[in-house]
Amino acid sequence: MQPTKAIFSWRLTPSDDARRFTIHRKGGCGAVVATLIGLSCVEMYVVDALVRPASAAAANALLAIGACAIVWLLGDFQALRVRPILLGDEVLTVRAGLRRQARIPLADVESIEAIPLAGEPKRDREYLRCTAFGPAEIILHLRAPARFEQIIGRARDVLRVGLSVDDDAAFQSSVLAAAERARHDETRRSTQTASTETACLSASLCATAPNTSGTIT
């Protein structure tokens, strides 16, 4: 679903396959979008009144551009609404609508910390903000880089993700608990695999060992 098509799917609701954490309610994202659309409509009216007497073609082109911008804003907000952060059994899907997305194995989640009063950390190659609107409020620290695919720009591998979730407390407790379970399960699977490989190796050695139990005469 592209942003320009999302507006035609306004009745869509997020999938129930995993626990959802929305990011579009906090910070007045809806109010910001409504304000931008209102300003765009006023701008379109004023520009059309000024340009049309001189060139109807130019006025029509500017109206089309303005209409596309409004559809894009509505589609982007709809994508934020129906594509929240998803917490599954083994994967945390972090996304901001269609702007950017990454599937992060829960075992790779290191910790979550609140943004200090001094503000967000200095942006570098290892940090990416993934919010609907405004600054991040928490930072997700990872053990291994996560690749974020972006609708604008190339993919980025990051170790820290800035987030602003509508229910920060529930998000933090749920993700950290799920990450702990995932690491425990991963350790258990590794131990079982190692035990199985050891047993197979022992059986193979026993099968290939020469038989020395014969009677010597």
Distances (CA, A) of 76 to 81, 96, 102: 9, 9, 18
Instruction: Read off the pLDDT of each residue in 95-122 and give the average, rounded to a whole number.
Output: 89
Percent of the chain at pLDDT > 70 equals: 79
pTM here is 0.74
Give the pLDDT confidence score for residue 210 in this predicted structure.
62
187: exposed, middle or buried (Cβ count in 10 Å: 0-12, 13-18, 19+): exposed
Higher pLDDT, 72 or 213: 72
Paired tokens of 113: 């910390």
Residue partners of 148: CB distance under 8 A and separation at least 6: 94, 100, 101, 102, 128, 130, 155, 156, 157, 158, 161
SS3 147: strand
Across the chain, mean pLDDT equals: 84
What is the pLDDT confidence band of residue 217, given thresholds at 50, 70 and 90? very low
Residue 161 within a domain: no
Residue 68 lies in a domain: yes
* Residue type at position 138: I
Q: What is the mean pLDDT of residues 144-166?
A: 93
Give how far Cα 173 sits from Cα of 20, 176, 179, 192, Å: 14, 5, 10, 29
Band of residue 38 on the pLDDT scale cut at 50, 70, 90: very high
Residue 209 lies in a domain: no
Question: Which domain does 66 fall in, by range?
Answer: 21-82
Does residue 57 fall inside a structural domain? Answer: yes
183 is a domain residue? no
DSSP 141: E
What average pLDDT does the segment 34-59 reach? 92
Whether residue 208 lies inside any domain: the answer is: no
Using one digit for the tens of pLDDT, what is the confidence trace for 2-27? 554 455 554 555 554 568 999 988 77
144 domain residue, yes or no: no
Tell me: pLDDT of 110 over 70.
Answer: yes
How many structural domains comprise the chain? 1
